[in-house]
Amino acid sequence: MGLRASVLIGYLVLAIALAASAQQPTPAQPQTSQTPPGTPVIKSQVRVVLLDSVVTDKKGNYIRDLTAKDFKVWEDNKEQQITSFSRADDPAAPDYSEKKYMVLFFDTSVRDFLNQVMVRQEAEKFIDANVASNRQIAVVDFGSALRVTQNFTSDAARLKKAVEDLSGSSSIPMSGMNELDAVHALRFALTALARSLSTVPGRKTLVMFSRGFPLPPNIAPDLLSEVQAAIEECNKANVAIYPIDQRALIAPNSQLGRTSSGVAPNSQPGRSSSGVLPPPVTPSTNQQVLDQFAAETGGFVIMNTNDILGGLEKIGKEQSQYYVLGYTPSESPEGSCHTLKVRVDRSGTIVRSRSEYCNVRPRDLLAGSTAEKRMESQASADLSGNIPGSMEIPFFYISPNTARVNLALEFPSDSVKFEKGKGKMHAEINILGIAYRPDNAIAARFSDTVNLSFADQQAVDNFFKAPFHYENQIEISSGQYVFKVVFSSGNESFGKLEKPLNIDPYNGNQFALSGLALSNQARRVPEPESGSNFALLDQTRLIAHGMEITPSATNRFKASEGAAIYAEVYEPLLAAPNPPHIGIRVMVRDRKSGEKKVDISVPNADFSIQKGSLVVRLGLQLPMTSLTPGQYQLQLGAADSAGHASDYRVSDFEIE
C-alpha cells in the first residue's frame, strides 16, 4: 500500500522531516537495463588517461577560453583523439567544488636555520589566506626521515602550528651524505607521498621548499635513474611539483629574514645558525633536480626572489587554472612508460603538463604474483567459488564519463585460515576485483592483501563471530560491465561474486544522479587528526551533513534497526544566479509481485545543498516502518524545478 503525502522520510540521523507532495516535478518512471554477457576471457585492459594542462601566454597570464579543438595530444609522438575535455575552474565541471589538495613539503635535511625561519613565516601567511573547506593542506617534514606533521585539514591553526614546530635540529645534514644517498632519500620520500595520493582523483599540488640536491659535474647513471623514478611515481599519481629554491633568499635588513621577535638570528642576516656564511648559489648543480621535477610533472620553480609569499600565491592560484584532457591510450605492455606532449593551436601560448604516463595496474598489490595468476584464472573461468559472500557496487561520478565505484564485500569470517607463528595467529586474505567490458576487455581492476594478526586463539574466535567486511574503490569510465570479485585465504577454498555494473554516459554539464549506497551504520565525522605516517588520505568517504555512512555489502536489514540511503545529485545549474530547487522521489516495490509499497515525492531537498558545490549529497532514511519482512526494490529519482530529471537508480534490499 502506498504512503500518503503526510508520511515523512527521516533525514539520516539528524531527523530532518521532508514534506511530501505530488504536485512538483518528479523523475520519469524507472527503466531496467540488461545484464552484460556472461563469463568472459581476458583480452586486454582498456584505460583512460586524464592529462591536466596549464596554458599561459608568454607573460604568465592564464588562458581560459580554449576548447577541446584547440588542443593536440601526442603519446610517443603519435597523435591521440581527445575523448573528454573540461576546465578546472568551470562551475559546470563536476569536480569544480571537489576538494583541492596541496602538500607543503619542507626539506629540513640541511641545517639552514635562517632561511627556514623565513620560509615558515611566509608559509603561515599563505595558510591564513588560502585554506578553505574545499582547499585542504598537509604539512610534511623531510629531514632524516619523512614525517607527516599535519594531515590534510582546512584548520589554519593546526597547519600553522605544524609549520611553526618544524625544525632541522635533528636532521642529518645533506653535506654528510653522498649525492646518491641524498637523491635516493628524496626519491623514497616522493614515492611514499605519491602513492598515498594516488587514489585521489584530480591534480594534486606538492610545494617543495628546498635548497636543491647536489649533482656532480659528470652525473652518474644511478643518480639519473633515482630522479626519473621519483618523477614517474608523481606522474602516475598526477602530482605536480612546485619547488621553491630557498637559497639566497635573504637580503640585508629584509624583514623576511627576521624571526617572530623581529631580531634576525645571530644579528647577522645572511648567515646560518652557526654564524658561517652560506655557500655560494650554484644553480647548475643544486637546482638541476628541482628544475627537472617541475618541468616533467607540470609545475614550475620559484627561485632568486625574496617574495616567497608571492610565489606561494601563484602556486595556489594554479590549483584551479588548468584543463583536463582525456584520451584512450594505445595497448602497451604493463609497466611501460610513454612520453606525452600537449600543444595548443594558438600562437604565443605556453603549455605545462606532465611529461609521461606509465601503464601500470592501479592499486594492484598482487601484480605478477602466483596468487594473482590463480585468481585471474578463477575470475575468467566458468567456475563457482565455495565460499559464500555478498557485495554491492554503487558508483559516483567524479568527472566527465568517469565514476568511482565503491565496493563493499562481506563473507563468513570463519573461512579465513589462520596459522600460528612467533606466538601470534596470522592470516592473509587476497582479493581481486575486475570489471569486464562486453567485448571481454578489462576496463578496471584492483588486487589487495589484508593481513590479520591476533594475540591468541580467543581473539581469533571473537573475530569469527561477525562476517568479514571489506571496502575498496576503483575509477572507471562510463559503460556496461560485469564486475567480478575473487577472494581467498591461502588455501584451496575461494569465493567468487559477480554483478552487472552499468554507468550512464555523463558529460559533466547535465543533471544526473549517482548510484545508491544503503547502510545500517552511520557515525559523525571526526576532525582530521595529524599523522605520523605516509598515509595522507583515506578513501573518499560517503558523507552527508557531517554524517558518514558505511556501505552495506548485503543490503539485508532488521526492521527494528533502520537503514540509510546515500546518493549524489549533480546539478550544474546550482552555479546560476537563481538556482532551481531539487526534488526527489522514493519508491519501494515488492520484488516478486512488483506491487508498489512506498511512493514519496519530496519537492524541495534544498537543505542538502552545500554552498559553492554542484554536488548535492543526500542522506535519507530508508522507509521501512510500513514494510513487513520480505524482499524489496528501492527506486530513487531526482528532478529540478527547471524541468530536468534523472533516470531512476535501483537497489534491491531485504527486511528480516
Q: So what's the pLDDT on residue 98? A: 66
Q: Answer yes or no: is 326 within a domain.
A: yes
Helices 286-297 + 221-236 axis angle, to 10:
30
Q: Which three cell numbers stand for residue 367?
A: 601484480
User: Which of the four pLDDT bands, split at 50, 70 and 90, describes residue 363?
Assistant: low
> What are the tens digits of pLDDT across the range 328-356?
888 787 678 899 999 999 999 999 998 88
Q: Are residues 24 and 104 in the same domain?
A: no
Is the domain of 292 the same as that of 377?
no
Flag whether pLDDT at 565 surpasses 80. Answer: yes
- Position 440 pLDDT exceeds 80: yes
CATH of the domain at 293: 3.40.50.410
Sheet with 146-153, strands from edge to edge, namely 146-153, 135-142, 100-107, 204-210, 239-245
Q: Kindly report the CATH number assigned to the domain that includes residue 437.
A: 2.60.40.10
Of 320 and 368, the one with more pLDDT? 320
Longest Cα pair distance anywhere in the chain, in angstroms?
A: 86
How many whole angstroms separate alpha carbon 112 and alpha carbon 495?
A: 57
Query: Which of 58-72, 216-230, 551-565 shows the lowest mean pLDDT across its residues?
Result: 216-230
Q: What is the pLDDT of residue 154?
A: 85
Tell me the per-residue pLDDT of 402-438, one tens digit each, with 9 for 90 and over. 888 999 999 999 999 999 887 889 999 999 999 999 9
Specify if 228 maps to a domain: yes
Domain for residue 95, yes or no?
no
343, 360, 377 - which closes a domain: 360
| 406 belongs to a structural domain | yes
Whether residue 227 is predicted with pLDDT greater than 50 in this model: the reply is yes
Say whether both 128 and 151 belong to one domain: yes
Most confident of 28-32, 52-56, 397-401, 557-561: 52-56
Confidence of residue 96 (pLDDT cuts 50, 70, 90): low
To the nearest 10°, the Cα dihedral for 63, 65, 70, 73?
A: 60
Predicted confidence (pLDDT) at residue 591 exceeds the cutoff of 70: yes
pLDDT at 177: 53
Average model confidence (pLDDT) across the chain:
77
**Segment (H or E) for 149:** strand 146-153
Residue 464, pLDDT score:
93
Q: How confident is the model at residue 265 (pLDDT cuts 50, 70, 90)?
A: very low
- Please report which confidence band the pLDDT of residue 181 belongs to, taking 50, 70 and 90 as the band edges: low
Say yes or no to pLDDT of 36 above 80: no
In a domain, 92, yes or no: no
Predicted confidence (pLDDT) per residue in 465-494, tens digit: 999 999 988 888 899 999 999 999 877 889
- For range 173-189, the mean pLDDT: 63
Tell whether 278 is covered by a domain.
Answer: yes
What pLDDT was estimated at residue 529?
37
Region 526-555: mean pLDDT is: 67
* β-sheet bridge partners, residue 105: 140, 208
- The domain tally of the chain equals 4
Clarify whether residues 537 and 417 are in a common domain.
no
Query: Which pLDDT score, from 0 to 100, does residue 552 have?
Result: 95
Each residue of 302-311: pLDDT tens digit?
876 777 888 8
More confident call, 2 vs 453: 453
Q: Does residue 254 have a pLDDT over 60? A: no
The predicted-structure confidence for 451-461, as pLDDT tens digits, reads as follows 888 989 999 99
pLDDT higher than 70, residue 213: no
Distance (Å, rounded) from C-alpha 439 to C-alpha 482? 11
My answer on whether 2 and 55 are in the same domain is no
Instruction: Compute how many other C-beta atoms are within 10 angstroms of the C-beta atom of residue 29.
Output: 10
Say yes or no to pLDDT of 393 above 90. Answer: yes
Q: Which domain holds residue 336?
A: 49-87+322-360
Classify residue 278 by burial, with Cβ atoms within 10 Å: 0-12, 13-18, 19+: middle
- Of 437, 468, 501, which one is at a domain's C-terminal end? 501
Quick one: cell of 549?
555512512
Rounded Cα gap, residues 493 and 605, in angstroms: 48
Helix (H, G, I), strand (E, B) or coil at 190: helix
Domain match, 336 and 472 both: no
Where does the pLDDT of residue 650 fall: very low under 50, low under 70, confident under 90, or very high at 90 and above? very high
pLDDT on residue 56: 92
Reply yes or no on whether the pLDDT at 583 is more than 90: yes
**Same domain, yes or no, for 656 and 530?**
yes
In a domain, residue 578? The reply is yes
DSSP letters along 303-360, please? -S-S-HHHHHHHHHHGGG--EEEEEPPPP--TT-EEEEEEEESSTTEEEEE-SEEE--
Q: 117 and 216 share a domain?
A: yes
Whether pLDDT at 528 is above 70: no
Q: Are residues 149 and 289 in the same domain?
A: yes
* pLDDT for the residue 421: 85
Both 171 and 296 in one domain: the answer is yes
Please identify, among 311, 335, 360, the residue that sits at the C-terminal boundary of a domain. 360
DSSP state of 96: T
Range from 15-24, 59-68, 532-541, 545-554 carrying the lowest mean pLDDT: 15-24
pLDDT band of 224, cuts 50, 70, 90: confident
| In a domain? residue 568 | yes
> Are 69 and 107 in the same domain?
no
- Where residue 561 sits, what CATH number does that domain have? 2.60.40.2550
Based on the domain organization, do 70 and 189 belong to the same domain?
no
Helices (H), 92-198: 113-130, 156-164, 179-197
Q: What is the pLDDT of residue 360?
A: 64
pLDDT of residue 347: 92
